[in-house]
Amino acid sequence: MLSSFVPEDSGILPRARGVWRIVIMLTMFLRAIVIDFVQIVISSFVLKVLWGWYVVTTFGLPPLSIAQSAGVGVIMGLLTVQHIPRDDEARKEMTIFNLSIPFVMLAFGWILHFFL
């Protein structure tokens, strides 16, 4: 994942020297970890809710916990193609998209579950 990690040619890193360069790199890396963690938690919650609405009621399978939903999400991520943007603007757009799409899916799922 680490979709929001800023590469070395982003502008601020080439100007930094010595210890500051390491501090900036660690800060960018930790920021990416936090953003990815938030994305995983949000997506796992949405998958848990949608699983409960559709799979549990339709097929009688047991409900998923947040941790199980995260595991299923990791497997789905490994099996699908991931796009990694190269420039900062595309990276910001991708981060916003990745944070907002679970809510859109939850809204569609909420509407559709009334028709079951």
What pLDDT does 44 receive?
Answer: 94
pLDDT over threshold 60, residue 47: yes
Q: Over 80: is that where the pLDDT of 19 sits?
A: no
Is 68 within 8 Å of 40 (Cβ atoms)?
no
- 12, pLDDT greater than 90: no
Report the pLDDT averaged over residues 8-28: 70
Q: How far, in Å, are 16, 50, 75, 84 from residue 103 at the CA level?
A: 38, 11, 20, 22
Tell me the pLDDT band of 77, cut-offs 50, 70 and 90. confident
Percent with pLDDT over 70 in the chain: 85
% the chain with pLDDT above 90: 40
Spell out the alpha helix ranges (H) of 11-79.
Answer: 12-15, 19-50, 57-59, 66-79
